[in-house]
Amino acid sequence: MRKLAAGMSITLDGVVDGEPEWVGPYHSPEFGATIRSLMTAGDTMLLGRNTYEYFAGVFGGQSGPEAEYLTNVPKFVVSRTLKSADWNNSTVIGANLAEEVAELKRQPGTKINVSGSITLVQWLLAEGLLDELHLLLFPVAVGKGRRLFEGLAAKTAFELADTETLPNGVQHITYNLA
């Protein structure tokens, strides 16, 4: 069975949205290499509607390794409102989401990656469908914004799998769901 892995940028105070304000100053070649490594470890993307629309707008029709990967990889877009997903290799799912995600995990392949998609990651955590959580912890506190674990109804245990500190102080922390 394939693993479902989510990657999130997060501040010291747990905020996972508003990234352009706090990610930009820490962008570096090493950070870019980490992002590319996380992306290419999978052969399928699972995205929330907002992240899908953002990625399609930024990377659709562009060139370069990230754009080519995101354009060509199969993308499953979780949405109750989106009727079609026109970006190459995109399929809308969501009628019976837990069943559809479980079926994706049973299909042959490598990892299924989730990038961003805060609401989706929160739902996957609550449903026990997430296998790996990659946190890119930025050495900044922003005080306000959506937090990854807000509203979590039950205790969720994590097992530390790996850590890496980038030269700019960003930590890549990998957890397996216990």
C-alpha distances in Å from residue 84, one per residue of 16, 87, 114, 115: 27, 9, 19, 20
Output the pTM of the full model.
Answer: 0.92
Tell me the pLDDT of the chain (178 aa) as tens digits. 999 999 999 999 999 987 777 888 898 999 989 988 998 999 999 999 999 999 999 998 899 888 899 999 999 999 989 988 999 999 999 889 999 999 999 999 999 999 989 999 999 999 999 999 999 999 999 999 999 998 888 889 999 999 999 999 999 999 999 8
Identify whether the C-beta of residue 138 lies closer than 8 Å to the C-beta of residue 23: yes
Query: Which residue, 145, 116, 118, is CA-closest to 55?
Result: 116
- The full set of domains in the chain, from first to last, is 4-177 (3.40.430.10)
